[in-house]
A and B are shown apart, each in its own frame.
Chain A
Amino acid sequence: MDEKQGVIGAAGLVKEFGDVIAVDNISLSVGEGELFGLLGPNGSGKTTMIKLLTGQVRPTAGSAVVLGLDVTKDPVGVRKKVGIIPEQETPPSFLTATEYLDFVGEVRHITGVRKKADWWFDFLDFNDKRDVLCKDLSRGTRQKLMFTQAFIHEPALALIDEPLINFDPIMQRKVKDYLTEYVRRGNTIFISTHILEIAEEICSKFAILHKGKLLHTGTVAELKGRDQHLGEFFLSLVETGAHA
Chain B
Amino acid sequence: MLKLFVNMMKEEWRVHSTMFGSLSFALFPVMIFGIAFMGSFLLPLFRTVVPPGYLSIIIHAIFLLLGIMVGGFGLLGMEVMNRRFGQASLLSYSARSLPISEQEIFCTFVVKDTVYYLVLWVVPFVAGFAIASPFISVPLSLSLLLFLTLTLSFLTGLALIFFLSTVYARSKRVFAALFVTLLTGWAALYLVAGINTVALFPPLQLFHAFSYDMLLAACAVVIIPSAIAVALFTSEYTDTTKRFKNAIVPLTKKLSFFPYPPLAAKDLIDLLRSGSFIGQTLFSFLIPLWLLWFLLSVLGRFIPPGDVLLLFAILTGVIASTMYTWLTMFDTFSSYTCLPVGVPALLESKICSFAVLQAIPAAFIVLVTIASGGVAYLVPAFVLCLSVSFYALAVTIWLTGLSPSVLVYDVKVLFLYLILVGIAVLALIALAFVNPYYATGSVLLFLPAWLLVKAGFTKWEIQDQPMF
Q: Which of A99-107, A202-210, A217-225, A228-236 forms part of the interface with chain B?
A: A99-107
Across-interface contacts of B345 in A (CB, < 8 A): 76
**Chain A: minimal CB distance from B239 (Å):** 8
Please pick, from B243, B249, B270, B342, the residue contacting A75 in the complex, using a CB distance under 8 A: B342
Docked-complex contact B340 and A136, CB < 8 angstroms = no
Docked-complex contact B249 and A104, CB < 8 angstroms = no
Docked-complex contact A80 and B270, CB < 8 angstroms = no
A86-B338, A99-B247, A136-B240 known; A106 vs B331 contact (CB < 8 Å):
no
Question: Whole-angstrom distance between the alpha carbons of A90 and B332 in the complex?
Answer: 10
Across-interface contacts of B341 in A (CB, < 8 A): 76, 79, 107
Question: Whole-angstrom distance between the alpha carbons of A83 and B340 in the complex?
Answer: 10
Docked-complex contact A58 and B462, CB < 8 angstroms = yes
Docked-complex contact B342 and A86, CB < 8 angstroms = no
Docked-complex contact A133 and B338, CB < 8 angstroms = no
Docked-complex contact A131 and B252, CB < 8 angstroms = no
Across-interface contacts of B244 in A (CB, < 8 A): 96, 99, 131, 133
Question: Whole-angstrom distance between the alpha carbons of A108 and B251 in the complex?
Answer: 17
Q: Which of B261-269, B288-296, B351-359, B423-431 forms part of the interface with chain A?
A: B261-269
Question: Whole-angstrom distance between the alpha carbons of A135 and B270 in the complex?
Answer: 12
Across-interface contacts of B181 in A (CB, < 8 A): none
Question: Whole-angstrom distance between the alpha carbons of A77 and B345 in the complex?
Answer: 13
Docked-complex contact B246 and A102, CB < 8 angstroms = yes
Q: Chain A interface: which size bin?
A: 35 or more
Q: How many A-B residue pairs have CB under 8 A?
A: 99
Across-interface contacts of B273 in A (CB, < 8 A): 94, 133
Across-interface contacts of A51 in B (CB, < 8 A): 337
Q: Mark B127-148, 1 if CB is under 8 A from A, else 0.
A: 0000000000000000000000
Please pick, from A84, A92, A106, the residue contacting B337 in the complex, using a CB distance under 8 A: A84
Docked-complex contact A133 and B464, CB < 8 angstroms = no
Task: Determine whether B248 belongs to the interface, using a CB cutoff of 8 Å to chain A.
Answer: yes
Q: Mark B37-64, 1 if CB is under 8 A from A, else 0.
A: 0000000000000000000000000000
A58-B464, A76-B342, A135-B83 known; A86 vs B245 contact (CB < 8 Å):
no
Task: Determine whether B235 belongs to the interface, using a CB cutoff of 8 Å to chain A.
Answer: no
Q: Mark B248-288, 1 if CB is under 8 A from A, else 0.
A: 11001000000001110110011001100000000000000
Docked-complex contact A131 and B243, CB < 8 angstroms = yes
Question: Whole-angstrom distance between the alpha carbons of A51 and B333 in the complex?
Answer: 13
- Chain A residues 57-75 with CB under 8 Å of chain B are 57-58, 75
Question: Whole-angstrom distance between the alpha carbons of A90 and B464 in the complex?
Answer: 18
Which residue from chain A places its CB closest to the CB of B262 in the assembled complex?
A106
Docked-complex contact A92 and B335, CB < 8 angstroms = yes
Across-interface contacts of B245 in A (CB, < 8 A): 131
Docked-complex contact B331 and A54, CB < 8 angstroms = no
Task: Determine whether B192 belongs to the interface, using a CB cutoff of 8 Å to chain A.
Answer: no
Question: Whole-angstrom distance between the alpha carbons of A80 and B341 in the complex?
Answer: 9
Please pick, from B240, B243, B338, B340, the residue contacting A76 in the complex, using a CB distance under 8 A: B340
Docked-complex contact A95 and B242, CB < 8 angstroms = no
Q: Mark B223-241, 1 if CB is under 8 A from A, else 0.
A: 0000000000000010011
A-B pairs, 6 with minimum CB distance:
A106-B262, A84-B338, A80-B340, A131-B243, A79-B340, A99-B248
Q: A54-B337, A103-B248, A103-B265 are in contact. List 18 more A-B contacts (CB 8 A).
A: A76-B340, A76-B341, A76-B342, A88-B334, A92-B330, A93-B274, A93-B331, A94-B273, A96-B246, A99-B246, A99-B248, A102-B246, A103-B262, A107-B339, A132-B241, A135-B83, A136-B240, A146-B338
Query: Could you jot down 26 A-B contacts, CB within 8 Å?
Result: A54-B337, A56-B337, A57-B464, A76-B342, A76-B345, A79-B337, A79-B341, A84-B338, A85-B338, A90-B334, A92-B270, A93-B83, A93-B270, A93-B274, A94-B269, A94-B274, A95-B269, A96-B243, A99-B244, A99-B246, A103-B265, A103-B266, A132-B240, A132-B241, A136-B241, A146-B338
